């Protein structure tokens, strides 16, 4: 095997894409800052028990494990940043009021989460801690939409769901964890026959309500149909009402509802959403409310947020034009060096042509050149 070959689903990022990724990263962080989000930078690896506590089996299977050569303890390379941000909110910040936090950094997956995906996403996310009301849900949704607009994403569809709907239907049902996972998987796959088999021993209200969820997806009419066919168990109609309100607040995007959508990590506790756009094989953004995420760290605060992969985002936004630059000769003359330094200090990109080489820069468009005229260095258009 050649020494320069990389592992499957791991790739170098070359100049054109790297420039684009960095520009998108900056736009995303600036947009989050506009909402009052503060940047945090959790470490890439932690003790495994801290990294995985309360996150569920799926994230554990996605996490690379290694042994710390100093302590001998098992470490994990993060596969998702949200648990780390919850730890920061719970233990390091320990604020009593609202905390708005954002982050952008690499995560590692043992396997790609879908065909052709990278195992090293660059995860950007924003989260609001400390407010359990629907106002924070809406703020996170609007921030996610503004992030996509800022980076040039075209038309989008926001798909809304709520984990409380399925939880409400399980009110009088006692099942083990594996049976619960199987029901969730059947709902996510909209497999009516598997769902009927898995729920045949359930009380009739729960069985019929879960069966109805398989077909409860589409536009706002779905919410009316859900009120008609789902049993009036506590909390269910409140969740439907809040979904309707949230959907009505979203402008500039198509809104749909999928009341049986349970994809994602196990810690979602309320509203959940995915944002889809042309060119992305799955949801470009996923988020929602996960109020229990901080409980394992001893501080169970309301929490809502979202994340996306900046590397995937690059593939669905328009290509960026090359940055305008100035071509200059290489030289030792003090006036030339002083003019180059002045231009760079003013924010210009100045590319010096080294002796024996022509113009070999692919990532900049040299539309001007620095030339000597009558004893002065001046700019000339190309």
CB–CB of 125/306 below 8 Å?
A: yes
User: How buried is 30 (Cβ within 10 angstroms: 0-12 exposed, 13-18 middle, 19+ buried)?
Assistant: exposed
User: How buried is 19 (Cβ within 10 angstroms: 0-12 exposed, 13-18 middle, 19+ buried)?
Assistant: middle
Q: What is the largest CA-CA distance in the chain?
A: 94
Residue 349 annotated as binding?
no
Residue 268 annotated as binding?
yes
Residue 139 annotated as binding?
no
User: Tokens for 290?
Assistant: 């996960």
Residue 334 annotated as binding?
no
Backbone angles phi, psi at 187, to 5 degrees: -65, -45
d(Cα 90, Cα 310) in Å, to the nearest integer? Answer: 27
CB–CB of 206/169 below 8 Å?
A: yes
Residue 254 annotated as binding?
no
CB–CB of 339/376 below 8 Å?
A: no
If you search the block for the tokens 């952008």, which residue do you land on? 104
**Strand, helix or coil for residue 209:** helix
Residue 82 annotated as binding?
yes
Residue 127 annotated as binding?
yes
DSSP letter at 285 equals: E
If you search the block for the tokens 């798909």, which residue do you land on? 159
Residue 267 annotated as binding?
yes
d(Cα 328, Cα 350) in Å, to the nearest integer? Answer: 7
Host H or E run for residue 304: strand 303-309
User: How buried is 158 (Cβ within 10 angstroms: 0-12 exposed, 13-18 middle, 19+ buried)?
Assistant: buried
**Strand, helix or coil for residue 186:** helix
Pairing of strands 38-39, 74-77: unpaired
If you search the block for the tokens 């590692």, which residue do you land on? 108
Mark the binding-site residues for L-histidine, compressed into ranges.
Answer: 80-82, 123, 127, 263, 267-268
Mark the binding-site residues, compressed into ranges.
Answer: 80-82, 123, 127, 263, 267-268
């Amino acid at each position: 095997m050649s020494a320069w070959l990389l592992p499957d689903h791991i790739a170098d990022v070359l100049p054109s894409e790297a420039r684009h990724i960095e520009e998108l990263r900056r736009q995303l962080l600036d947009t989050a800052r506009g909402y009052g989000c503060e940047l945090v930078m959790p470490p890439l690896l932690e003790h495994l028990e801290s990294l995985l506590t309360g996150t569920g089996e799926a994230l554990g299977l996605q996490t690379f494990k290694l042994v710390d050569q100093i302590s001998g303890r098992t470490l994990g390379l993060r596969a998702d940043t949200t648990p780390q941000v919850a730890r920061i909110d719970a233990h390091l910040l320990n604020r009593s009021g609202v905390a708005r936090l954002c982050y952008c950094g690499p995560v590692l997956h043992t396997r790609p989460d879908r065909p052709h995906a990278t195992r090293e996403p660059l995860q950007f996310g924003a989260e609001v801690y400390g407010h359990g009301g629907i106002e924070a849900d809406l703020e996170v949704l609007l921030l996610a939409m503004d992030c996509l607009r800022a980076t040039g994403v075209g038309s989008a569809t926001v798909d809304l769901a709520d984990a409380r709907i399925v939880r409400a239907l399980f009110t009088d049902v006692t099942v083990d964890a594996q049976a619960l996972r199987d029901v969730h998987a059947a709902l996510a796959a909209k497999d009516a026959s598997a769902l009927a088999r898995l729920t045949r021993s359930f009380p009739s209200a729960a069985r019929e309500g879960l069966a109805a969820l398989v077909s409860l997806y589409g536009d706002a009419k779905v919410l009316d149909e859900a009120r008609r066919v789902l049993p009036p168990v506590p909390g269910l109609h409140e969740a439907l009402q809040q979904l309707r309100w949230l959907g009505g607040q979203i402008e500039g995007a198509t809104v749909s509802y999928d009341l049986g959508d349970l994809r994602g990590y196990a810690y979602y506790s309320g509203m959940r959403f995915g944002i889809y756009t042309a060119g992305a094989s799955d949801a470009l953004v996923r988020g929602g409310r996960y109020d229990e995420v901080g409980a394992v760290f001893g501080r169970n605060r309301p929490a809502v947020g979202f994340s996306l992969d900046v590397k995937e985002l690059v593939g669905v936004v328009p290509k960026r034009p090359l940055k305008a630059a100035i071509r200059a000769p290489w030289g030792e003359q003090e006036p030339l060096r002083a003019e180059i330094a002045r231009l760079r200090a003013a924010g210009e990109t100045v590319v010096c042509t080294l002796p024996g080489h022509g113009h070999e820069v692919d990532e900049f468009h040299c539309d001007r050149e620095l030339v000597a005229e009558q004893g002065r260095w001046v700019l000339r258009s190309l």
